[in-house]
Amino acid sequence: MDEAFITLEFKNNELYLIDQRVLPATYTHFVCKNYEEVEFAIRDMVVRGAPAIGATAAYGVYMAAQQYATSPRFTTSLKQACDFLAKSRPTAVNLEWAIDRMWKAYEAVSKEKMETILSALKREADEIRSEDIRTNKAMSRIGNAVIPQHATILTHCNTGALATAGWGTALGVIKEAFYDNKDIFVYADETRPRFQGARLTAWELTEAKIPSALIPDSAAATLIRDGKIDLVILGGDRVAANGDVANKLGTFALSVICKAYGVPFYSVVPISTIDFNLPDGSHIPIEERDKREVTFVGDVQVAPLEMDVFNPSFDVTPHQNITGIITERGIIRPPFRENIERLRKGETL
Ligand code: MRU
């Protein structure tokens, strides 16, 4: 069963994005008319989630090509636009991955006619988007195998259709299990400070009518200690070659608690989220965001304005704390480095 909403859609030469900054109170679209607006939409988190920002940036590259179509410096301008888009958010590798794919599509196409270049870039952006949905469905089927017939699941941040081109990664697995008639109950962390769990995951769980409850992030430890959670399943923004996973802030703490109490801990990521060139998680760039995200909740001030703030958007979970990483070509289990290397070579696990 698919969602009734479309996270990102290119139509009438504009990119329509569900404005995730204002959900669930308001359902509206942010319409990008040029690649500069696409960059803003990613940076300001109109659209967020690793696969979703990758697909969005791909359309940004296509829009840049349209804007520069008559420029005598087409190649240089397109390259600058790619670099500009790539800097919008640093942690999720899907952004660089998608832009790189667009650039390779440009390099591969005949440069004789601009029309040919533009249609090759549009085709590649469409393919990145539809491939992501197919990949998510494949991961869901594979991931469903780790969900018991009766399970209480804890998840963090938003990994659903909103975080991808459609369907979702970890939330995709949860939906697959639910539609497979498994008796599941989901606890969603609210995910401070941007509340992706409260605003977005809770909205998606409600839309899908999946039995669930929202919890403050700090309630997770108590539920896990008390044996109320059968498994934790969440997403990932960049996976290093040794299996360390960068994901939304709070993921690392959850992994430590799961390890202490023997609760399985899974990350669900498309292979496009694996950075095969990065030896371990210490090299993953961690985005730090504006202090206002912590000192305000919406428009309400909740801390003194002069207070210093440390606001990393992500943290890194060491592979030793991870039970498995679910991908579209199988589940990566220890030894992670060897099995990730097998994926790099094109094998199925
Ligand atoms: O800051 P966000 O909302 O872009 O962070 C998103 C996450 O951390 C998700 O868990 C991750 O991108 C995986 S989504 C399929």
pLDDT at 341 over 90: yes
Q: Which residues contact 349 (CB under 8 A, 6 or more apart)?
A: 327, 329, 330, 331, 332, 333, 339, 342, 343
Q: Would you tell me which CATH number, out of the four given (3.40.309.10, 3.40.50.300, 1.20.120.420, 1.10.10.10), belongs to the domain 8-137?
A: 1.20.120.420
**Residue whose tokens read 């017939």:** 149
What pLDDT band is residue 99 in, cutting at 50, 70 and 90?
very high
Mean pLDDT of 299-317: 98
pLDDT at 343 over 90: yes
> Ligand 1: does its nearest atom lie under 6 Å from the Cβ of 160?
no
CATH 3.40.50.10470 positions along the chain are 147-344
pLDDT at position 4: 83
Q: Which helix (H) or strand (E) holds 104?
A: helix 93-108
CATH 1.20.120.420 positions along the chain are 8-137
- The model's pLDDT over 254-303, given as tens digits with 9 standing for 90+, comes to 999 999 999 999 999 999 999 999 999 999 999 999 999 999 999 999 99
What pLDDT band is residue 3 in, cutting at 50, 70 and 90?
confident
Superfamily of domain 147-344: Translation initiation factor eif-2b; domain 2 (3.40.50.10470)
- The model's pLDDT over 184-217, given as tens digits with 9 standing for 90+, comes to 999 999 999 999 999 999 999 999 999 999 999 9
> Ligand 1: does its nearest atom lie under 6 Å from the Cβ of 237?
yes
pLDDT at position 2: 78
Residue 322 CA, ligand 1 centroid: distance in Å: 18
pLDDT at position 5: 93
Looking at the CA of residue 92, tell me the nearest atom of ligand 1. Answer: 12
Residue nearest ligand 1's atom 5 by CA: 49
For the question of residue 237 being annotated catalytic, the response is yes
pLDDT at position 71: 97
pLDDT at 1 over 90: no
Residue nearest ligand 1's atom 13 by CA: 235
pLDDT at 113 over 90: yes
Active-site residue, selected from the candidate residues 189, 237, 275, 315: 237
Residue nearest ligand 1's atom 10 by CA: 235
Phi, psi of 211 (to 5 degrees): -55, 125
> Ligand 1: does its nearest atom lie under 6 Å from the Cβ of 55?
no
pLDDT at position 135: 98
> Ligand 1: does its nearest atom lie under 6 Å from the Cβ of 173?
no
Q: Which two tokens stand for residue 207?
A: 């839309």
Residue 236 CA, ligand 1 centroid: distance in Å: 7
What average pLDDT is seen over the chain? 98
pLDDT at 310 over 90: yes
- The model's pLDDT over 61-94, given as tens digits with 9 standing for 90+, comes to 999 999 999 999 999 999 999 999 999 999 999 9
